């Protein structure tokens, strides 16, 4: 059924590459903060090596993951098979956000498609790799990738995205610092 490891083997890396969606969970330090859980897609995830992964973070309505990583670094990424053999994979680790136009972003950006609305790359040092059965997850079919987010970012343009991030991504819902510009 389930297994625990400290690294991502080749079989799991190949399985990850086949998944069309993943989920990112993070939480601020201390009581009273909001736990965040976000779905991600658009071919934005990569396994860098057996103990390091990254995903391309696109401009959105919130900045919770980035704020939480700045606060404490804790992050969990979950993949779930919606077709084929049932399986759930959780990657527990410590992450950091590399903002657009930083040397760290530039060093990793070749791993991802050049999508409009890029704002950071989230890099995670994986400490625990845990699989579980996924028997209770329904089997579903993917119809298609949605293009609305990239269309929205393209329509805003580079200057419009900077303005949007300054207003909507400067602070988390708990008031923690996010990204500006």
The tens place of each residue's pLDDT in the chain, 181 residues long, gives 689 999 999 999 999 999 999 999 999 998 989 999 999 999 999 999 999 999 999 999 999 999 999 999 999 999 999 999 999 999 999 999 999 999 999 999 999 999 999 999 999 999 999 999 999 999 999 999 899 999 999 999 999 999 999 999 999 999 999 986 4
> What was the pLDDT predicted at 47?
98
For 56, the 3-state DSSP assignment is strand
Of 128, 136, 141, 28, nearest in space to 74 by CA? 28
> What was the pLDDT predicted at 120?
97
- Sign of torsion over alpha carbons 145, 148, 154, 158: negative
> What was the pLDDT predicted at 181?
43
Domain annotation for the chain: domains and CATH numbers = 3-168 (2.30.110.10)
Backbone angles phi, psi at 54, to 5 degrees: -155, 155
Pairwise CA distance, residues 88 & 66, whole Å: 24
For residue 9, give every residue at least 6 positions away whose Cβ sits within 8 Å of its Cβ, in sequence order, or none.
50
* Beta bridge partners of residue 80, listed in sequence order: 88
> What was the pLDDT predicted at 7?
97
> What was the pLDDT predicted at 53?
98
Per-residue tokens: 50: 């057996």
For residue 7, give every residue at least 6 positions away whose Cβ sits within 8 Å of its Cβ, in sequence order, or none.
50, 51, 126, 129
Pairwise CA distance, residues 102 & 179, whole Å: 13
For residue 167, give every residue at least 6 positions away whose Cβ sits within 8 Å of its Cβ, in sequence order, or none.
none
Alpha helices per DSSP H over 87-145:
103-108
Residue count of the chain: 181
């Amino acid at each position: 059924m389930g297994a625990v490891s400290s690294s991502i083997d080749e079989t799991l890396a190949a399985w990850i590459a086949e998944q069309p969606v993943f989920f990112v969970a993070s939480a601020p330090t201390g009581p009273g903060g909001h736990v965040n859980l976000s779905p991600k897609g658009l071919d934005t995830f990569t396994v860098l090596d057996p103990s390091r992964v990254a995903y391309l973070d696109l401009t959105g309505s919130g900045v919770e993951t980035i704020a939480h990583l700045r606060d404490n670094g804790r992050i969990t990424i979950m993949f779930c098979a919606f077709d084929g053999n049932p399986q759930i994979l959780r990657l527990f680790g410590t992450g950091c956000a590399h903002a657009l136009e930083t040397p760290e972003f530039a060093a990793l950006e070749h791993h991802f498609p050049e999508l409009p609305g890029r704002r950071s790359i989230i890099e995670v040092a994986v400490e625990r790799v845990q699989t579980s059965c996924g028997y209770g997850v329904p089997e579903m079919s993917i119809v298609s990738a949605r293009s609305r987010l990239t269309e929205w970012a393209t329509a805003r343009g580079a200057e419009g995205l900077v303005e949007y991030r300054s207003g909507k991504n400067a602070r988390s819902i708990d008031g923690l610092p996010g990204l500006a510009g």
